[in-house]
Structure 1
Amino acid sequence: MSSSPHIAVVDDHKDIRELLVRYLGSHGYRVSEADSAAAFRYLLERSSPDLVVLDIMMPGEDGLSLCRDLRANTQLPVIFLTAVSEDTDRIIGLEMGADDYLTKPFNPRELLARIKAVLRRSNSLPPQRDAPRSGNLRIGDKILDMERREITGPDEVAVPLSTAEFRLLAVFLDHPGIILNRDQLLDLTTGRAADVWDRSIDNQVSRLRRKIEPDPKNPTLIQTHWGGGYSFTGKVEKA
């Protein structure tokens, strides 16, 4: 069996599928194509692609719905293809956990570069552990409501978590005790690599600490590893 990466292209436009089958194939990738979400699900039952290039707007089930299902059940990397007018859908897709996106019309060479980058990042990420994804969780002296995305302290005041804060906390819960550097945290939360000067993760960690730590100035749940990143060391249990 070939060891070359297997890319699935899901798009209802035949010309785009044929273009990518030829182009990616000429660069050493194995490529499967599907013209709908249903066709891709059938393909997924019979093969194991390494990455999916997914159109958002398709007849029947759209790409957003399919991405939501993939994120709930797999760790398959997703690159969205979007139209210029689909800015809101693009943002929603990234919030769902898509790894990257490209706007139509696109240059196949740019898509190839993004595929290489996403595969490189996904292959370097630490393994995800099974973690509770529903109900209420006790973290230190606080209760996290996974559905409402709120955290309640001993004072019984519920504090909402922003989308970015909740996504970051979910990543920590999925990788307990593992030191994650800024690049990995950005990959796992937003699907992009970090710029050398990018401090957005540090800011997010600081905001999250203010909401979940008993004493944010002396954190005990999210530990800082100088030159290495952060790790989550708190005890988590069903509330």
Structure 2
Amino acid sequence: MSPPTRPRPSRLLRRLRLLSSDRGVASIELVLIIPLLVLLLVGFDETYVFIRTRYAIEHTAYALANSVGQFSNVVDSNATTSSNTLGSIWKVATTLAAPVQLQSNGAVIITSICDSTSVPCGAASAEAAPTGTGKPQIWWQRSAPWSAAGLSSQVSSSAPLPATFPFANGDAAFVVEVYYTFDPFPWLRGLWPGAPGAQQLYERFYARPRGGSIEGNVPIPLTAS
């Protein structure tokens, strides 16, 4: 006589046992925790990229101003045959900003400022140490040929320098502006409609030219190629 067989547990009973077992609880916890961990890692990564990008834009504006300030003139040419051509300046800007793709989503603008009380504007001051108050005026302005559309200079023609910037009679200055459009979470945009949108990063650096005559502070002229 064969031994009696046990009745097979029902499907519902098997599910209840799975939910009550440690394996079932661990599976549920894993399903809930993994998306949170992925989101946390992505957030850390995007925060790092943002900080790195912000630093790159600041460094580019500062280093570019430091370099341009040593030129006695800037050549109005997009060629790179000389270090003081606009083409070389734009190329240096993209190199300084790397790995940020400045030429894809950014802009670089250089503005030379002279004293409108000088005759003509841009002439060296006759004084070794000008003491009168000058009136800053935009002499020339150029932007990189790859600058993104809609990114224009924030240097006002009526007030090209801050009120706190000391500007004497016959003085000179220039401004370097760097833009970059930072887009966080671009590959999550379809899955996360509420993800933060693109942010405009902007850095502006004021400086004085250092490549002119020692008798006066000469503005940086823009010469033909």
Q: TM-score range by the shorter chain?
A: under 0.3
Choose 1 or 2 for highest CA Rg: 2
| Bigger helix share | 1
TM-score, normalised to structure 1's length?
Answer: 0.23
**TM-score normalised by L of structure 2:** 0.24
Task: Specify which structure has the bigger relative contact order, considering alpha-carbon pairs within 8 angstroms and separated by 6 or more residues.
Answer: 2
